[in-house]
């Protein structure tokens, strides 16, 4: 399969209704040549005006993130008193650890802006986190921000390249953020069963093809473990990716927000930074391993020793200073404790890892029993079932011809909220769905804590009930 210019994610109709948008599709990202950014002059000058027009045009082509829109759609249905099975939004689904609540409350008097890159205490703690994982890191290599998502956007904004390569499928925000910054996103298919990393051979071909068009692919974004597939690229694939990156002088941006949630007790996790440290930037945070998505705290590792990365770090800090100034001071204090990994934190993450893996496998077995092809989940709390085997029956019985049709069928007839694979860059006609399993642990905090505490969380009554609901819905559309 050839690499393709990435379209922006599409929102299914239900999601659009919840967010107040009107069209049934988000337009494809235009090539950078159309309204490409120019060197920023003063806002009042001609160059500044052209750049502003280009940026405004790009912003109009980007709709609300499909994952966030789906979450709002589920909440709206609940408010209307409807039963929903929330399998669309990738929120970690467990309570905040008590030790972190206490740390945040204790730090609530901190009200200063602080350094743009983050407090010295937090940067040192994040450096220690990576060093303990075999990646020697200095505090000066760390930049903190209000979520890894914001840091990723800042990196893309400072990339100074025509194109960026991303996996097909991949997390919804990569293509959207690239388009917002004026960089053309290029989808490259994955190795089957190894989501999050573009097939190295196809990546090399895509870079060469872009070069023949007079364009430069400056970076490749990878996700380990992967959202949306819940899989993990193997060591051989990572090494091959790094070889391609060196051959074509690509920067590797490795999104490792789910690293601590690989399901195996001793996972065979190989970061690109282990193989090609001179060209790998890592982004991470606390939103997934410790369920702190609402705290908005992310970190990036930009290793010293590379002139190109040092220059990108300077541009990133410039962006940070002009957009968010610094992460919230009290959150930084609590995050420093989290990254220092005291025993109560490591135990919390271990229990979360067990819970996510157990429920992901339980849900995967329901989809497999219904005849869907499901890659074995190896990390995080996602599945990516493929209903190709049911294409003819789904079309004849329900008029389903696209993944958006399939997602709408499950939502409207059975109250099961999932996302279509088209939101993650897959072709519309591929009948794949992104399923997030982490909202099945219970609505109440005591239920979520109970799910964390037991060895067999799928046997808990409220989780077993949700699994039975899913099983019935799948049987109804595939029988």
Burial 352-364 (b: 16+ CB within 10 A, else e): bbbbbbbbbbbbb
Across 104-205, where does the E strand assignment appear? 142-145, 163-168, 184-191, 194-198
What local confidence, expressed as pLDDT, does residue 309 receive? 95
CA-nearest of 353, 433, 121, 380 to 256 is 380
Q: How far is 401 from 133, CA to CA, in rounded Å?
A: 45
Amino acid 59: pLDDT: 54
Beta-ladder partners of 252: 220, 280
Q: Which domains does the chain have, with CATH numbers?
A: 111-339 (3.40.640.10)
Does the pTM surpass 0.75? The reply is yes
Helix intervals (H) in 136-275: 148-157, 172-181, 200-212, 235-248, 272-275
- pLDDT category at 304 given cuts 50, 70, 90 is confident
Rg (CA), the chain: 22
What six digits make up the tokens of 60? 């109009």
Contacts of 343 (CB under 8 A, 6+ apart): none
**pLDDT value at position 29?**
37
How far apart CA 246 and CA 48 sit, in angstroms, is 35
Q: Higher model confidence: residue 290 or residue 57?
A: 290
Please tell me the predicted confidence (pLDDT) of residue 225.
Answer: 97
115-169 per-position pLDDT tens digit = 999 999 999 999 999 999 999 999 999 999 999 999 999 999 999 899 999 999 9
Number of neighbours of residue 80 by Cβ within 10 angstroms: 8
Q: Which residues pair with 85 in a beta bridge?
A: 416
Determine the pLDDT at residue 64: 65
Mean pLDDT throughout 246-256?
A: 97
pLDDT digits (tens, 9 = 90+) for 397-407: 999 999 999 99
pLDDT, position 72: 73
Average pLDDT over residues 292-306: 94
Which tens digit of pLDDT belongs to each residue from 66-75?
666 666 776 7
């Amino acid at each position: 399969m050839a690499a393709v210019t990435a379209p922006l994610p599409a929102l299914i109709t239900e999601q659009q209704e919840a967010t107040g948008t009107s069209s049934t599709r988000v337009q494809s990202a235009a090539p950078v040549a159309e309204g490409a950014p120019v060197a920023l002059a003063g806002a009042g000058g001609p160059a500044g005006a052209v750049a502003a027009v280009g940026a405004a045009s790009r912003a109009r082509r980007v709709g609300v993130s499909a994952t966030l829109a789906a979450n709002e759609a589920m909440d709206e249905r609940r408010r209307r008193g409807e039963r929903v099975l929330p399998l669309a939004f990738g929120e970690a689904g467990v309570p905040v650890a008590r030790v972190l609540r206490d740390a945040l409350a204790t730090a609530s008097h901190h009200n200063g802006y602080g350094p743009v890159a983050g407090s010295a205490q937090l940067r040192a703690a994040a450096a220690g986190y990576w060093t303990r994982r075999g990646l020697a890191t200095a505090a000066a290599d760390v930049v903190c921000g209000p979520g890894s998502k914001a840091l990723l956007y800042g990196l893309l904004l400072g990339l100074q390249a025509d194109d960026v390569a991303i996996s097909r499928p991949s997390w919804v925000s990569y293509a959207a953020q690239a388009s917002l910054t004026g960089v053309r996103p290029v989808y490259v298919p994955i190795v089957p069963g190894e989501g999050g990393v573009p097939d190295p051979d196809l990546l090399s071909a895509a870079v060469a093809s872009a070069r023949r068009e007079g364009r430069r692919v400056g970076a490749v974004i990878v996700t380990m473990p992967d959202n949306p597939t819940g899989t993990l690229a193997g060591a051989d694939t990572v090494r091959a990716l790094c070889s391609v990156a060196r051959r074509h002088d690509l920067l590797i941006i490795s999104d490792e927000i789910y690293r601590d949630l690989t399901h195996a007790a001793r996972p065979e996790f190989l970061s690109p930074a282990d193989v090609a440290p001179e060209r790998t930037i890592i982004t991470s945070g606390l939103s997934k391993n410790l369920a702190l998505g609402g705290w908005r705290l992310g970190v990036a590792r930009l290793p010293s020793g590379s002139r190109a990365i040092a220059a990108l770090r300077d541009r990133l800090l410039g962006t940070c200073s002009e957009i968010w100034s610094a992460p919230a001071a009290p959150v930084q204090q609590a995050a420093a404790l989290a990254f220092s990994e005291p025993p109560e934190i490591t135990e919390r993450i271990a229990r979360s890892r067990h819970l996510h893996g157990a429920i992901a496998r339980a849900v995967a077995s329901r989809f497999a029993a219904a005849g869907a092809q499901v890659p074995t989940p190896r990390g995080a709390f996602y599945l990516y079932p493929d209903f190709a085997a049911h294409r003819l029956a789904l079309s004849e019985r329900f008029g389903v011809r696209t993944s958006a049709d399939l997602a709408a069928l499950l939502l409207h007839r059975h109250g099961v909220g999932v996302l279509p694979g088209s939101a993650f860059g897959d072709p519309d006609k591929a009948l794949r769905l992104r399923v997030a399993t982490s909202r099945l642990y219970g609505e109440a905090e005591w239920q979520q804590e109970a799910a964390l505490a037991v060895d067999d969380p799928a046997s808990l009554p409220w989780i077993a009930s949700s699994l039975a609901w899913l099983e019935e819905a799948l049987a109804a559309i595939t029988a």
